[in-house]
Chain A
Amino acid sequence: MTDSGSEDLSNEPPIIFYKHRPEWDDVTPVPQDDGPNPIVAIAYSELFQDVHDYFRAVLKSGEKSERALQLTDDALDLNPANYTVWQYRREILKHLEKDLQEELTYVRGVIERNAKNYQVWHHRRVIVEWLQDPSHELELTEAILSRDDKNYHAWEHRQWVIRTFKLYDNELEYVDRLLTEDIRNNSAWNQRYFVLNNTSNFPADIIDREILYTIAKIKKVTNNESAWNYLRGVLERSDYGICENSVVKQFCEDLYASGNRSPYLLGFMVEMCEEQIEKGAGDSFYNLEQAVRLCDSLAKEYDTVRKEYWNYIARCLTNKRNSHCNNGSSKALIEEMNSAASDGTIVTSVDE
């Protein structure tokens, strides 16, 4: 940070503080009003303080000018998370009727330097809305995602653009490319669902296609939770639930028979059993005994970190069959919880 050598190499002009600029003589800087006892006082650099003193002055006077716009540049450079500055910048842009294409170029630079920031992406979205021009957005988000393919803000912006301007056409290909690069990219799986959910009602042919697509991916990496979750998500959109698809059923049985004990496979089989039990249609493979056995092996061997969860699922399944035999101790527990909940506390406090 204090490498003086790099300063010699840069072509940037030396910083002149606003307080030393004659063209700002007419403005009285407004210092931050922290009061007599500042708390969480940040040791601002002189530059940070200078720029913000003048920003506060401009905000107060309501000046909407070229120099005020320039000032927001400097303030946002120092802290791109200052939503008050962004909001004021938008007011200036409107007031001066600035060229918004230029603004797009500007905000792209800020996004590239601060890709994980709410305000920069929101600003981009507002400008695109004003312009009604989504033509750069897919390329921009793709560029950002090529560096960080799970950047939440970039995905949010991309989905907004696609939904608002109906740009679904090549999205499945893009998703497929990302999944070929990284089969475990959950954001890409989610995007696949997003596209199908917004372009179709998951008709039978699409469900069948997606099942084959996903099964092929699971065969490659059986411990990939993203693919299993997607498979369930798609099946839940069919009229038949997760257990009635013969391709999926066969696939799971074969994988299990081959000795695979991926916790996601076992968990999926538990859910298939559960569905069968609910339908009262337990067959010779997917039934209560099998479900309890699977939960037990998950809790004790294949997914021990989730033992509480699997034991709970097993209890629920058993209870479904033996409903109406609530025992006293658990009744007491629920009473304790309900009374705790009714006064708003979820867990009760103890005297120690």
Chain B
Amino acid sequence: MTTNARCIEALGCERFDEENCSTKTSEEQIKVEESVEELFQLFSKKLTIDINAPSLYRGKHVSYLKKCLFYLPNSYECLDASRPWLCYWILHSLELLEETLDAEDRSKIALFIGRCQSPDGGFGGGPGQHPHLAPTYAAVNALCTLGTEEAFSIINRETLQKFLWSVRCANGSFQMHVGGEEDIRGVYCALSVARLTNIYCDKLFENSAKWIISCQTYEGGFAGCPGLEAHGGYAFCGLAALCLLGKEHLCDIRGLLRWVAHRQMRFEGGFQGRTNKLVDGCYSFWQGGAFPLLHKALADEDSTCVSTNWLFHQEALQEYILICCQNSLGGLLDKPGKPRDIYHTCYTLSGLSVAQHCFAGQEKIVGGLQNELARVHPLYNISQEAYINASKFFYNLPPL
């Protein structure tokens, strides 16, 4: 169950080769590798005295998150239009760390998220703000993570569905808000909340699969809009949205697999968001989370080829997260030298959970069982348990 880290000494040959052609891309890459190498070396020394290394600073992360749950410094003013996201990132991180909140706090949080719900349906970035698909997705995920009947009942499903209709475009894509931008995040957020709360209907997503597929690029990943560059965040949205439609086979699955498999960095072990870009902890989920979805699609095609592991290096990703992305005071981050924040805390932990868990009995926990996180449901990125409870609640309600 527990598994060893890669041999640090043998990693030297994985360093970037500039081939006598230094460019901005290669210079930045080499700088990052140097900072990562430094941490790998330190870890290597630590390993000689601590066989459980690398360890997850579970307690530190929990206290950091709990502090943020009630109070955020004014550097978070730039996220004043994303407060349901702040709730979701914190709640989901705590859930993965298997930290439970008391009933009173759960109730307070649910009521606060309720204040972000718009009379027109959907949720805004804060009380009184216009409804927007991104905070709507975050609010629904946060409420499902809370998992109480009070939290589930906050969601007004009738007006939510009306809101989804109001941002739907004829070509099957979705605007983020009325009068707002249109990209692949929209259709994923819409599908995710529609499926979770049992308000999905075929008509609402007519043409959506076709539009999503038009975002798949010659590289194999998905872009935010047709024509743009393949990108980890959008690739996840595209694949997950197709899976939620049950139409993942309409895209080029093998091309997508090749692209996403190649986003794992040979030296750092973490994922980059795009070809020739730098490693970033948050792509641990955006790219890593695609593998469970791909696994099923590939198994449908030919069951004899897939194994019991995901098709990426699960140990290498865990090492990158545990060695390079933890702030010793709690919270996780993009790459060495960057500040911690709750967005990166949420998505590095989500990616860590994916990397730890494949099929039942096939866990691979780097650094020992005390590092194990709760399992995520890769379509929604809420915990498996939260998903099951939410389904029980919403699928016992009458359809709209």
The verdict on B162 contacting chain A, using a C-beta distance below 8 Å, is no
Q: Given the complex of chains A and B, what is the CA–CA distance between A174 and B358 in angstroms? A: 46
Q: A186-B275, A186-B276, A345-B387 are in contact. Are A82 and B361 (CB under 8 A)?
A: no
Interfacial residues of chain B within 97-139, with CB under 8 A of chain A in the complex: 108-109, 111-113, 115, 124-130, 132
Are A223 and B19 interface neighbours, CB within 8 A?
yes
- Contacts A84-B81, A308-B313 given; indicate if A45 touches B74 (C-beta within 8 A): yes
Is residue B48 within 8 Å, beta carbon to beta carbon, of the partner chain?
A: no
Shortest distance from the beta carbon of B358 to any chain A beta carbon, whole Å: 7
Q: Say yes or no: B306 contacts A149, CB within 8 Å.
A: no
Interface size on A, residues (CB 8 A): 96
Complex CA distance for A319 and B304, rounded to whole angstroms: 8
Known A37-B111, A82-B125, A349-B385; contact A221-B71, beta-carbon cutoff 8 A? no
Task: Verify if B92 is at the interface (C-beta below 8 Å from A).
Answer: no
Report whether A33 and B127 are in contact in the complex, using a CB–CB cutoff of 8 Å: yes
Which residue of chain A is the closest to B316 with respect to CB atoms? Answer: A305
B125 & A319 in contact (Cβ 8 Å cutoff): no
Q: Do the beta carbons of B384 and A308 come within 8 Å of each other?
A: no
- A308 near B299 (CB under 8 angstroms)? no
Cα of A307 to Cα of B261 in the assembled complex, Å: 10
- Alpha-carbon separation in the docked complex, A229 to B130 (Å): 41
Q: Are A327 and B132 neighbours in the complex by a CB distance under 8 Å?
A: no
Which of B263-271, B323-331, B333-341 binds A?
A: B263-271
Contact with A along B35-54 (1 / 0, CB 8 A): 00000000000000000000
Closest to A225 in B: B275
Interface pair B25/A184, CB less than 8 Å apart: yes
| Interchain CB contact under 8 A, B23 and A181 | yes
Q: How far is the CB of B210 from chain A (nearest CB, A)?
A: 17
CB of A331 within 8 A of CB of B108, answer no
Does B276 contact A32, Cβ atoms closer than 8 Å? no
The answer, yes or no, to whether A251 is at the interface (CB within 8 Å) is no
State which residues 105-152 of A face B: CB under 8 Å: 118-119, 121-122, 125-126, 149-150, 152
Contact status B90-A183, CB under 8 Å:
no
A319 to B298, CA, bound (A): 13
Contact B229 A42 (CB under 8 A): no
Question: Does B59 interact with chain A (Cβ within 8 Å)?
Answer: no
The interface size of chain B toward A, counting residues with CB under 8 Å, comes to 101
Contact mask for chain A residues 135-174; partner B; CB cutoff 8 A; 1 contact, 0 none: 0000000000000011010011001000100000000000
Nearest Cβ distance between residue B170 and chain A, in whole angstroms? 18
Q: Is A64 an interface residue (CB 8 A)?
A: no
Q: For window 184-232 of chain A, which residues contact chain B by CB distance below 8 Å? A: 184-187, 190, 193-194, 197-198, 220-226, 229-230, 232
Residues 280-314 of chain B, each 1 if its beta carbon lies under 8 Å from chain A, else 0: 00000000000011011001101111111111110
Instruction: Find residues 52-82 in chain A having any chain B CB closer than 8 Å to their own CB.
Output: 52, 56, 59, 78-82
B378 and A40: CB pair below 8 A?
no
Smallest beta-carbon distance A254→chain B, Å: 17
Q: Would B125 and A84 count as touching, CB distance under 8 A?
A: yes
Q: Whose C-beta in chain B lies nearest to the C-beta of A234?
A: B218
Residue pair A185, B14 in contact (C-beta under 8 Å): no
How near does chain A come to B10, taking the closest CB pair, in angstroms?
A: 9
**B19 touching A221 by the CB < 8 A rule?**
yes
Given contacts A78-B77, A84-B124, A185-B23, 20 further A-B contacts (CB under 8 A): A39-B70, A42-B74, A80-B78, A81-B82, A84-B130, A121-B181, A122-B180, A150-B274, A159-B225, A186-B274, A193-B217, A193-B218, A236-B218, A305-B264, A305-B316, A327-B304, A331-B303, A345-B377, A346-B379, A347-B360
Tell me the A residues contacting B by CB distance below 8 Å.
30, 32-35, 37-45, 48, 52, 56, 59, 78-84, 87, 90, 118-119, 121-122, 125-126, 149-150, 152, 155-156, 159, 163, 181-187, 190, 193-194, 197-198, 220-226, 229-230, 232-234, 236, 267, 303-309, 311-312, 315-316, 319, 325-327, 330-331, 333-334, 336-338, 341, 344-350
7 CB contacts below 8 A, A to B, read: A150-B274, A185-B25, A225-B275, A225-B276, A309-B257, A333-B359, A334-B306
Q: State the 8 A-B residue pairs at the shortest beta-carbon distance, nearest first.
A: A233-B218, A334-B303, A184-B25, A39-B112, A40-B86, A37-B108, A190-B229, A182-B23
